[in-house]
A and B are shown apart, each in its own frame.
Chain A
C-alpha cells in the first residue's frame, strides 16, 4: 500500500520527503511505551481498588462488581475531563489513558462538552459519539462475528 503511494510521488517529492524525514523530530516510541504502561497500569490499579472496595463494603460479588466499578471510573473520567485535566494526563500517557474505559469516557464527554454551543439535539446529541462511534460500532460488530463463529463451531464441532 505504501509503495503504491510512493510511486504516485514525483522524484522531487520523494527526495524532499526523505530529506524532511531526516530532520523531523521522531516520536520517542520507547519512552512513550513506558509512560503508557505506567499510566495505564495506574488507572487499572485504581480500578481494582474500586472493585475491591465494592466487594468489601457492598453486596457485590466478583461477577457483579464490574458494573459499579466501570460507572465510578467513568464518573471520575468525567470530572477530570470537565476540569481540563484529562488531556494533560493523556499528553503524558498516550494510549495508557486512551485504552482503558476512562479514555472512552473522555472521548464521549469531551465531544459532548465541546458541542454545547450548537444546542442539545443537533449539537450535543449529534456530535457526542463523533470519536467513540467507531469504537461502539466495531466493538458490537466484532462481538457479533465472534459469537456467530462460536455458535457455528459449537453446533457443528461439538466444542
Chain B
C-alpha cells in the first residue's frame, strides 16, 4: 500500500535528453504537489503547452471539478506564456506517466513528443 502511495506522490523531474526541455513541467509539478488536495502529478510541456494530470485523495473526490479548476488557475497565473491544460482523468495520468518515462529514456524526439501529446489531447476530447 505504502509503495503505491509513494509511487504516485513522488514526481519525476524529467531530464529530456533528446527533446524539448521539461523544466517548466518539472517546476509546475513541484508547485502542484505541495497542495493538500493533490496526491499525485504527472506532466509534460512543449514550447507552447503545459499538460498536467493530477490525482486527488479519495474523500476530496467530491470536489474534483473545483480542484481541477483551482489547479488550472494557479498554473495559468504562474506560467502565462503557456497554454495550460489540467485533467483529473485516470487515463490522462496513465498516459502522461508513460510519456514521462519515455522522455527520461531519451528516445523521444520533439516531433514524437508533439504527436503523443496530440493523441492524449484528442483522447480527452472524446465524449461518452
Contact surface of A with B, Cβ cutoff 8 Å? 52, 55-56, 59-67
Contacts and interface: CB of A to CB of B under 8 A. Distances in A.
8 contacts: A52-B90, A55-B90, A59-B91, A60-B91, A61-B89, A61-B126, A62-B91, A65-B91
A63 B94 contact: no
Contacts, number: 28
B101 to A, nearest CB: 15
Contacts of B128: 63-64, 66-67
A56 B94 contact: yes
Contacts of A56: 94
A67 B126 CA distance: 12
Interface residues of B, number: 10
B2 interface: no
Closest 7 CB pairs of A and B: A61-B91, A62-B89, A61-B89, A64-B126, A63-B128, A62-B90, A55-B91
Nearest to A62: B89
B124 interface: yes
Interface centre among A56, A64, A67 (most CB of B within 10 A): A64
A64 B90 contact: no
Nearest to A60: B91
B127 A64 contact: yes
A71 to B, nearest CB: 13
B117 to A, nearest CB: 15
A84 to B, nearest CB: 34
B92 interface: yes
Contact of B123 (A52, A59, A66): A59
Contacts of B123: 59, 61
